Amino acid sequence: MKYLILFLFLITSALSMVQGQSKNLSENVVITSQKSETKVQANENGELHLNVCPKDIRKFKAKWIIRYSDFGARGDGKTDDIDAIAATHAFANQHGLSVKADEGATYYIGGKNRTAVIRTDTDFGTAAFIIDDTNVQNRNAHVFLVSSNLQPFKLEGVSSLKRNQEKIDVSLPSTCLITVTNSNVKRYIRYGLNQNNGSSQTDIFIVDKNGNVDMNAPIIWDFDQITDINALPIDETKLTITGGRFTTIANNAESKYTYYSRGIAIRRSNVLVNGLEHRITGEGDHGAPYGGFISVGDCSSVTVQNTILTGHKTYQTIGSAGLPVSMGTYDISPNRALNLSFVNCSQTNDINDDRYWGIMGSNFCKNIVYDNCTFSRFDAHMGVANATIRNSTLGHQGINAIGSGTFTVENSTIYGRNLINLRSDYGSTWQGELVIRNCTFVPAGGKPASASLISGSYSGQHDFGYTCYMPERITIENLRIDDSKHPEDYQGPAIFGNFNPKMTDESYIEKFPYVRTREVILRKVTTASGKVLRISDNTFMFKDVKVTAD
């Protein structure tokens, strides 16, 4: 009998040890619940070990909130607190607890290769975070990663898709975000000083459990073949991140395209970021560019509001064509994101100071909104499907975009060289409509300039991987053009820039024909100079455009 009791005791002890230890592989944290003190340690492989004594577990669960100081964060602005921060979030994620930073704390985060994974509501409050990028082990390691508990899975049985397809033949456990790729087709074959061979055709869209596609973010390509397709269930509950005063001590690396990703990456749908601030210090005469302090990707329905960000200093390097170029460097970087809104946001530096690069650059997105924002730029590199800028002010880099759907600009002031620039490195293409209402356009921020509303460049000799379009219809309503400062030979503002100076008669042949605008509707367009709005310096190229003016 005593041997039976001993056997049962050993089995129970072994089970207790197994139950008392868990490991979250994505967070690289081992969590135990031994009776020894609550403590965070890192082994020689960089793996975090967190022990939380049972008494502390009961205490934390009772108040449903934990603080970084509960796991050893000093918050003195000198001690590297990233291990304690990462361990706090790992424990919170395991038990569904909220995280709150300690009021008045200043958390120093050095260059260690460590990412804190956020899966629960987090209140950074008034705490300060110093992110020191002067000696970084892994420039691709985000400081924070906002992630979902839901896991993606391969989508079986879908071998092709069509543009604007309304339904796919699948049954899903819930509404999902679908990402699809055909690596055998290249799009966005870039032209110019940063030329490249393009990117694999990709798309991202939402499908409900019955296979119905959300047509507010439609499929934009024909997929005759699919090399990869995945589904990620969309979180139904909102995750909220509040507050935080972040300061990046900028890297001083060589000025080349080695992007730093040392900020907050959002890879979960249904997220609200509210009241965050990000500043930058320590920028010198050289440095590597940044890929976005707020990086949003592979998700839907993310709102950033009441947030203050900072433009990065512009550095030069040699581009892929072997010539000097200014490197794009960003504080906001959306990639493959749907339904993304920036509301009541601004930046710390002057939006018209051209020493600093435009604050945002995006790729493969749909339904981006600026509402009541003051930023140096809106930019869509490899396409946006539908975008809206309202109640906002945009600075020296203005609006740059290519894509499809409807681009709406309303109740806003634009200080760029043009009202909207269709990016020439991606074919100056917009397959859809432009709508401009109740806006003020100040060409080149008030410097002497020959103003044009819609600019771009298209030779017709380069294959971008798709047919290039100008907006089919452009509606401009109640626009004031402040062209009071202009050159002596100024002929008045033009609707279109000179997209192709070589196309002056029928003898010019486009190898890849440009589908030009059919109609421009003008209502109440006024100029400070008193000069009349005209079609373009290149009247031949736009001779077939129908212009209707009230």
Kindly state the helix (H) or strand (E) to which residue 84 belongs, with its residue range: helix 82-95
Q: Alpha carbon of 113 to those of 34, 259, 296: distances in Å?
A: 27, 16, 20
The residues pairing with 410 across neighbouring beta strands, listed in sequence order, are: 390, 437
Q: Alpha carbon of 273 to those of 236, 302, 482: distances in Å?
A: 16, 8, 36
User: Residue 431 has what pLDDT?
Assistant: 98
Domain boundaries, the chain: 22-146, 153-218, 443-550
Per the document, the length of the chain is 550
Strands 316-318 and 362-371: unpaired
Helix axes 54-63, 82-95, angle to 10 degrees: 70
Q: Alpha carbon of 100 to those of 116, 125, 332, 377: distances in Å?
A: 14, 7, 24, 33
This prediction has a pTM of 0.94
User: Residue 209 has what pLDDT?
Assistant: 96
The residues pairing with 309 across neighbouring beta strands, listed in sequence order, are: 347
Q: Distance between CA atoms of 74 and 518, rounded to whole angstroms?
A: 64
The residues pairing with 32 across neighbouring beta strands, listed in sequence order, are: 21, 51
Encode the chain (550 residues) as per-residue pLDDT tens digits: 444 333 333 333 333 333 344 544 447 899 998 988 888 999 888 899 999 999 999 999 998 999 999 999 999 999 999 999 999 999 999 999 999 999 999 999 999 999 999 999 999 999 999 999 999 999 999 999 999 999 999 999 999 999 999 999 999 999 999 999 999 999 999 999 999 999 999 999 999 999 999 999 999 999 999 999 999 999 999 999 999 999 999 999 999 999 999 999 999 999 999 999 999 999 999 999 999 999 999 999 999 999 999 999 999 999 998 999 999 999 999 999 999 999 999 999 999 999 999 999 999 999 999 999 999 999 999 999 999 999 999 999 999 999 999 999 999 999 999 999 999 999 999 999 999 999 999 999 999 988 899 999 999 999 999 999 999 999 999 999 999 988 888 999 999 999 999 999 999 999 999 999 999 999 999 999 999 999 999 999 999 999 999 8
- The answer to whether 305 touches 344, Cβ cutoff 8 Å, is yes
The residues pairing with 304 across neighbouring beta strands, listed in sequence order, are: 273, 342
Beta-carbon contacts of residue 111 (< 8 Å; ≥ 6 apart):
132, 133, 134, 135, 136, 137
Beta-carbon contacts of residue 82 (< 8 Å; ≥ 6 apart):
109, 110, 112, 114, 116, 143
CA dihedral of residues 27, 28, 32, 38 (deg, nearest 10)? -80
The residues pairing with 439 across neighbouring beta strands, listed in sequence order, are: 479
Look at residues 359, 389, 391, 388 and name the one whose alpha carbon lies nearest to residue 372.
391
User: Residue 9 has what pLDDT?
Assistant: 37
Q: Which two tokens stand for residue 464?
A: 């971008």
User: Residue 489 has what pLDDT?
Assistant: 86
**Does the CA dihedral 460-462-463-466 come out positive or negative?**
negative
Phi, psi of 395 (to 5 degrees): -90, -145
Beta-carbon contacts of residue 25 (< 8 Å; ≥ 6 apart):
none
User: Residue 22 has what pLDDT?
Assistant: 52
- CB-based burial label for 529 (10 Å; 0-12, 13-18, 19+): middle
Look at residues 38, 100, 34, 90 and name the one whose alpha carbon lies nearest to residue 67.
100
Q: Which strand ranges, in their side-by-side order, compose the sheet holding 29-32?
A: 21-24, 29-32, 48-51, 39-42
User: Residue 8 has what pLDDT?
Assistant: 35
**CA within 13 Å, CB half, 174:** 8
Strands 29-32 and 48-51: parallel
How does DSSP classify residue 13?
A: H
Look at residues 106, 140, 136, 142 and name the one whose alpha carbon lies nearest to residue 124.
106
Give the start-end residues of each E strand in 251-329. 264-266, 271-274, 277-281, 291-305, 308-309, 316-318, 324-326
